[in-house]
Structure 1
Amino acid sequence: MALSRTGRRMLATLRDTTFRSLRHRNYRRYFAGQIVSFVGTWMQSAALMWLMYDRTGDPRWPSWLLVAQVGPTLAFGAWGGALADRYPKRTLVLFTQTAFLVNAVVLTVLVGTGVATPYLVLALIGFNGVIQAVDFPARLAFVPDLVPKEDLINAVGLNSLVFNSARAIGPAIAGFLFVAAGKVAPHLPEGASGVTIGATTCFALNALSFLAVLRALRRIPEPRRHEKPAASPLAGVLYLREHPALGAVVLFTFALSAFGWPVITVLPAYTRLQLGLKEEAYSLLLSSLGAGALGAALATATFGSVSRRGAFLITGAAACAAGMAGLGFAQVIGLACGCCAAVGFGMILFLSTAQSTLQLAVPDEVRGRVMAVWAMTLSGSAPIGHLLAGHAITVAGVGPVLFGMAAGIGAVFLLLAGMALARRNSPEPVS
């Protein structure tokens, strides 16, 4: 009886704290649809990385894929944000998610039939990136339409929870499918490749996953719109320039992302060259990265508040730097997984806190364009971070690249800690 009472109390606490945004019906529908869709997205992403590395043997290909995916947001993100402020966000997201589905179907057919060359796959992913340039700012700006302001930090945390649960689950499913395909391939006609079969299966399941989010979006009524003036794409940049504290958050986000996210493109080469292992280990490392990120998303959803923003930003940068340095030293899979979890935890603790800071501070009329700047910041880090990391591995090796990335993140931590210390020691204004 005591255990049952304790269990009910814990469930009530989770309902009223960690998952309190789910009491809002429209957000609950959106949340459920995103769970399925993001699992499919991460499954496809992991499969693409391994497929291209397996076919080419070149550690730069994973970085080129990521640049093709996120680079268009840097080029067209301001335009996408202007659309989000000008037109109904739900309609925009419905359109972009449908386009993602079609692209996934085409990728499935071309890879499955053996038609797709590496450069054709790169072109398809580049088209996906153009869709994302509209989808990303529209989805970010759509969340405040689904929950009241007092639940916005929690909703942002839950969005990170969904995204990073998928980051852990999707690659794990992809790894299982690759292993299963490898066992089936020898029994198929000569020339059948286990990697191709596994990747094609992942792409097909990703296409199906978009049906869940499309169904959820169709059940959410369009929020009442007010007539809006023509949206200048540069309004987000101008707003951040007028509010330097928010602008600093965006700059730190750029730096942390440039040095932190390239770990994803490093992992295929790291798995083979430093650990001497195969795709099962690669999938495990990606899942560990996602598990750490999942822990950070839970922490943000449960404990995130305005008063803790500074501490969360500093802790996130510190955890990410320590995990990255640890990866440079690690020679065994267990330690490497722990370091990946630390990197994932630090990145998401920082990014979810920074995103909720912007969402709370920005007025509705420019939210789409400011969040487009946020999306462009994350995307702009890719051409710099991923391409440099992929090229540097061919020159210096995996370990030195990881140490360099750790040093860059450590610099962000020192700047944040120094600013917090200076603010604490600054004299109180005399009235």
Structure 2
Amino acid sequence: MQEPSPDAGRPTLFAALHLRNYRLFFAGQVVSNTGTWMQRIAQDWLVLQLTNSPLAVGITTALQFLPMMLFGLWGGLLADRYPKRTLLMITQTVMLLLAAILATLALTGLVEVWHVYVIALGLGMATVVDNPARQTFVNEMVPRELVRNAVSLNSGNFQLARLVGPAVAGVLISAVGSGWAFAINAVSYLAVLAGLALMRTSELTPSTLARRGPGQLREALQYVRTRPRLLWPIVLVFFVGTFGYNFAIILSAYTKDVFNSGADVFGLLNTALAAGSVVGALIAARATTARLAVLFAAAAGVGLLLILLGLTPWFVPFVALLVITGLVSVLFNTLGNSTVQLSTDPELRGRVMSLYMLVFMGGTPIGSIVVGAITEAWGAPFALVVSGSVCLVAALAAGVLAARRAGLTVHVDLHRGVEHHLEIVHRS
């Protein structure tokens, strides 16, 4: 499948919002994502209060993402087989009920850490289907030429919520406790359900549904393996998603152990990360194409920034670096996501995107436990340096392997008396 040519008209920043169905979807997501981020911050802080253990925070995160690792591909298969709008209405209702249960337990003072574990696992099960359905539903709401723009706006939407949600959650937790953050999140799902219900179905372009048949998961894996524009973004996102996106663990530990502060500073650190993320998503929204070299560079940039964060013990420089880290990490993820979607045939898109999300979110249980254990044993700064080093080495190694598979070699002339130069040669 061909990418749009680089000379194709560049979309305006908010081009996809001119379409009514996408506007409804976007508006519902603004409200719901804000509630989701409030719950994430409140959930992590509640677990830390109940256990005083960064490892317990890592276990909670791991349980929430474990279902994606185990069942992610089957979720993508369901998204290929059934109408995505219907699936989203089911999954959003389930998430609403789970948030309401957690709110009730917290507000009545009955909550225990195992309750949080079970509800995190339940949210993970719903996400298995919700994520590929939501990611690929974009292709039914907007024409192909606006898919990258819509994906970037979705990411900006998510990061804007990440900007507002933690700040509100920090104030709310300090004032009245975690329970109200969970309650607000439960109500926020009504905005998504209302947006889906109000859509004009005649203006949607439903994807071709996959028929039942043997070997459908194997077909998707083989499809990805033979296409570099799918394979390398998925390889990169595994390492960055597993080791680079454990900010819930790292920032809660930094707040408590490095900066000796409370929920308000925890919210501020998450807000700084999100501020950069919003800028990164807006930059990506204007992009018409994304070369693989850009994705490799962005992945290496995430790793380098994490190392710099781990070596920065001062609050103000740490916050400034968090903003830049948010920008680069979201630029990497958004361009990778849209590249995979645009390079995939419609009847396989759900399975391919579920594989993308599987390695992105499914690796999180591994990374959360590893990073949580390192944080508890040697501290958050050391954990950041280790995480960044893994991402940086993985990006460089993947770049070299990709170049070799493409038939590129690097030749450096170091003969005496001759001007040194570097030459890239394509092997026949």
Q: TM-score, normalised on structure 1?
A: 0.87
Once the two structures are aligned, what percentage of the paired residues are identical?
34
Q: Is the 8 A contact 1:39 1:166 kept in 2?
A: yes
Instruction: Output one character per residue of 1:22-43: Cα deviation in whole Å (capped at 9) or x when no partner.
Output: 1121111111111100000000
Select the residue among 241, 265, 287 that pairs with 1:257.
241
- Indicate how the Cα distance of structure 1 residues 226 and 417 shifts in structure 2: closer, same or farther if over 3 A, else same: closer
8 Å Cα contact 1:320-1:342 kept in structure 2: no
What's 1:392 paired with? 374
Distance 1:327 1:225, change over 3 A: closer
2:306 to 324, 329, 333: 324
Shift of 1:247: 1.3
- 2:394 maps to 412
Contact 2:236 2:395 in 1 (8 A): no
Q: Find 1:116's aligned residue among 111, 116, 122.
A: 111
Deviations 1:54-74, CA, capped at 9 Å, x for gaps: 111011121111111111011
Deviation, structure 1 residue 217 = 0.4
Whole-Å separation in 2 of the counterparts to 1:227 and 1:208: 32
Aligned to 1:4: none
- The answer for the alignment partner of 1:208 in structure 2 is 187
Residue pair 1:316, 1:348 contacting (<8 A) in 2 also: no
1:46 aligned residue: 41
Q: Which amino acid aligns with 1:345?
A: L
- Do structure 1's residue 339 and structure 2's residue 321 form an aligned pair? yes
- Contact kept in structure 2, 1:259 and 1:385, CA below 8 Å: yes
Alpha-carbon separation, structure 2, partners of 1:314 and 1:218: 40
- 1:354 alignment partner in structure 2: 336
Q: Deviations over 1:230-250 (max 9, x none)?
A: 162333222112324411220
Contact 1:104–1:204, Cα closer than 8 Å, also in 2: yes
- 1:384-425 deviation per Cα after TM superposition (whole angstroms, max 9, x unaligned): 211101011222222221111111122134246545694795
Gaps of 5+ in 1: 1-14, 182-197
- Structure 1 match to 2:79: 84
- Equivalent pairs counted in the alignment come to 398
Deviations 1:42-97 (A, max 9, x none): 00000110111011101112111111111101111111111111110000001000
Deviations 1:93-135, CA, capped at 9 Å, x for gaps:
0100011111111111111112221011110110111011010
1:127-175 Cα deviation digits (max 9, x unpaired): 1110110101111111111111111111111010001111111101001
Q: Is the 8 A contact 1:316 1:345 kept in 2?
A: no
- The structure carrying a bigger helix percent of its residues is 1
In the TM superposition, what is the alpha-carbon distance from 1:429 to its structure 2 partner? Answer: 8.2
Deviations 1:7-26 (A, max 9, x none): xxxxxxxx951111111211
The one-letter code matched in structure 1 to 2:152 is: G
TM-score by length of 2: 0.88
How many angstroms apart in 1 are the aligned matches of 2:251 and 2:244?
12
Counterpart position of 2:120: 125
Q: Root-mean-square deviation (CA), in Å?
A: 2.1
The runs of 4+ residues in structure 1 deviating greater than 6 Å are none
8 Å contact 2:302–2:325 — kept in the other structure?
Answer: yes
Inter-partner Cα distance in structure 2 for 1:171 and 1:147: 30
